[in-house]
Structure 1
Amino acid sequence: MRYEEFTIEGRNAVLEAFRAGKTVDKLFVLDGCQDGPVKSITREARKQDTIINYVSKERLDNMSETGKHQGVIAYAAAYEYAEVEDILKIAEEKGEQPFIFLLDNIEDPHNLGAIIRTANLAGAHGVIIPKRRAAGLTATVVKTSAGALNYTPVAKVTNLGATIDELKEKGLWFVCADMGGEVMYNLDLKGPIGLVIGSEGEGVGRLVKEKCDFIASIPMKGDIDSLNASVAAGVLAYEIVRQRMGR
């Protein structure tokens, strides 16, 4: 198993981590802060024998990666990356056809966190990210995912193209988001599917795009040329949800 160390910041994210049974080694709380949400967090911490340190605001500011710690920072043991097989197994256990997000060139941790959140709510079974040129599971990602990381597995692979080939052999087919594609409403997006999302700047890489069965575009009526990557992921994911529901 591979691990990536990180801190968890912000009241909701820290409380969610405790409640989901994550191993939290240390908790740092703003000295003198005794309101309800903080009490809930320290109560959970004591249940788990987590070390609690009361520290100054300056110390928390220095430790913070996001600048939005809300008086609480936890050092978690780590998030564990899933394997691609784990994601397929979840679909199988639920008796559903696989629905997986694959992210190419997503380097902004806010976008990554928001996409994991969307994947969870759209009922996707997991998210696959490449090792290179991609954000990892940092504190910002955890916070932006709003707790979704506790439930939606993220696998990290060496080569996205090779992973697509392996998944194709297991019956999945792939749609990627790109301006030049067919309007998404005209595509049949049912069945076992991988949704490939690239960054606003670079989009999906050429080699990955060539492996996709469909190129889907989102109708744009405005005066600028692209949606934020996490918004595009949400729009496409919910067209897939709509079609899966048979609407």
Structure 2
Amino acid sequence: MEKRNNRPDRPLNERRQFFDSENRPVTPRRPAREGESREERAERRDDRPERREEGSRRDDRPRYPHRPAADRSIDMIFGLRPILEALNAGRTLDKIFLLRGTKNSMTQDIQVLAKAANIPMSMVPVEKLDGITKKNHQGAVAYVSPIDYMPLDSILAGLYEEGKTPLLLVLDRITDVRNFGSIARNAECLGVHAIVVPSNGAAQINGDALKTSAGALNLIPVCREANLKDTLTFLRESGVQVVACTEKTDTSLETGSVDLTGPLAILMGSEEDGISPEYLRLADHKLRIPMAGQISSLNVSVASGIMLYEVLRQRLVKS
């Protein structure tokens, strides 16, 4: 075969681009010049244009950005039949994602069982599923919860039967995993009997949440409720006082004007929007944490610790 000679000449000063095992661009080491010391070589390396520009840095974006990231958790089930079998076996699933537009007998069975078990479910495009896992998901992915959710009514009845004064923590739209883990740690240390979260709009309980909680999520029950409005109404009808922590009130925590020694549910809201107005209307009392600095808000995990400490302080003083 005749050799082609019409290819354009390759520039002599062209530099090849190298990539590491994670497909990220790396800069090859420059060979030392004859008689050049280590200090002189380092100075020459730091004098490159990209080094001289203040704030500039090497582009660490992957070479193949269209490829999905590695699986973020091993606690995952993918495929219609495996998810259906997990539901039939009573496994606790954190959330189910199904391919939008899929209609068959198995997806219908999954939807029925998920609704009965109060498991959040979302119909999503294929790009969402491909971003969760690189494996053949067949249009269905589910996260397995590392804990088992407990029924709130059974916990409350058990506390009353044992002669204990219930202390519950209700979280409205706390979506940050590490915040949730820190809140659980505060709750376990300060005597909370159970944490109540909504089915939708709550942080996923995964390995990060367990680690941040220092194992507290293995000790304190978590109740997942479909409707927090109905849950708060149920608590009030069961003799539990609902106290909301919000800056939208004039009653300050340090005044001690609210008795926190009886059956109690502390209601905490998201950092962005606070507590939903419909839930605030159901609260028996509203308390704010006093501030002395220029920043007018606290991290929700810190705020929960302050509120729960005041509850424990009043109870210890009374006892």
The answer, yes or no, to whether TM exceeds 0.5 is yes
Contact 2:146 2:205 in 1 (8 A): no
- Number of the residue aligned with 2:252: 183
2:9 corresponding residue in structure 1: none
Please give the residue correspondences for 1:52-67 in structure 2 after superposition, counting only pairs within 5 Å: none
1:124 equivalent to 2:192? Answer yes
The structure-2 alpha-carbon separation of the partners of 1:5 and 1:218, relative to structure 1 and needing over 3 Å to count, comes to closer
2:150, 2:223 within 8 Å by CA — same for their partners in 1? yes
Deviations 1:18-42 (A, max 9, x none): xxxxxxxxxxxxxxxxxxxxxxxxx
Where does residue 239 of structure 1 map in the other structure?
310
User: 1:99 aligned to 2:203?
Assistant: no
Q: Counterpart of 2:205?
A: 137
After TM superposition, give the deviation of residue 190 of structure 1 in Å.
1.7
Partner Cα separation in structure 2 for residue 110 and residue 86 of structure 1: 28
- Residue 123 of structure 2: aligned partner: none
Work out the CA distance in 1 between the residues paired with 2:242 and 2:225: 17
Displacement of 1:246 in angstroms is 2.1
1:194 corresponds to 2:261: no
User: Quick check: 1:203 aligned with 2:271?
Assistant: no
Contact kept, 8 Å, 1:4 with 1:79, in 2: the verdict is: no
**Which residue in the other structure is 1:226 paired with?**
297
- The SS at the match of 2:281 is helix
Q: How far off is 1:93 after superposition?
A: 5.7
One-letter amino acid matched to 1:112: F
Instruction: Using the TM superposition, give the Cα deviation of residue 108 of structure 1 relative to its aligned residue in structure 2, in angstroms.
Output: 0.4
- For residues 4 and 139 of structure 1, the distance between their equivalents in structure 2, rounded to whole angstroms, comes to 14
| Equivalent in the alignment of 1:108 | 176
Match of 1:3 in 2: 92
Instruction: Indicate conservation of the 8 Å contact 2:168/2:195, yes or no.
Output: yes
Structure 1 runs not aligned, ≥5 long: 7-62, 64-74
Distance 1:185 1:90 in 2: 32
Letter in 2 for 1:185: E
Contact 2:93 2:144 in 1 (8 A): no
Q: Quick one: structure 1 residues 77 and 185, their matched pair in 2 at CA, closer, same or farther if it must change by over 3 Å?
A: closer
* SS of the residue 2:247 aligns to: strand
Structure 2 SS opposite 1:175: strand
Shift of 1:86: 3.5
Change (3 A) 1:77 1:167: closer
Which amino acid in the other structure matches residue 122 of structure 1? Answer: L
* Separation in 1, partners of 2:288, 2:94: 37
Residues 240 and 265 of structure 2 are in contact (CA less than 8 Å); yes or no, is this contact kept in structure 1?
Answer: yes
Following the alignment from structure 1 to structure 2, what is the Cα–Cα distance between the partners of residues 145 and 86?
24
- TM-score, normalised to structure 2's length? 0.53
C-alpha distance in structure 2 between counterparts of 1:116 and 1:90, whole Å:
21
2:287 aligned residue: 216
* Deviation, structure 1 residue 2: 6.5
Counterpart in the other structure of 2:155: 87
Give the aligned partner of residue 7 of structure 2. Answer: none
- 1:137 CA displacement: 1.3
Give, as a single letter, the amino acid of the residue that structure 2 aligns with 1:3: T
Aligned residue pairs total 180
Retained in 2: the 8 A contact 1:129–1:156?
yes
In structure 2, what is the equivalent of residue 36 of structure 1? none
Task: Give, as a single letter, the amino acid of the residue that structure 1 aligns with 2:196.
Answer: I
Shift of 1:91: 2.6
Written as runs of structure 1 = structure 2, the 5 A alignment for 1:17-32 is none
Decide which structure has greater helix share: 1
Compared with structure 1, are the counterparts of its residues 90 and 142 closer, same or farther at alpha carbon in structure 2 (3 Å cutoff)? farther
Partner SS state of residue 199, structure 1:
coil
Identity within the alignment, %? 36
Match of residue 13 from structure 1: none
- Give me the TM-score of the superposition, normalised by structure 1: 0.68
Higher RCO, Cα 8 Å, sep 6+ = 1
| Deviations 1:85-137, CA, capped at 9 Å, x for gaps | 24314533653211000000101011111111111111110000001111131
Note closer, same or farther for the CA distance 1:2–1:190 as it changes in structure 2 (3 Å cut): farther
Q: 2:191 is aligned with what amino acid?
A: G
Corresponding letter in the other structure for 2:286:
I
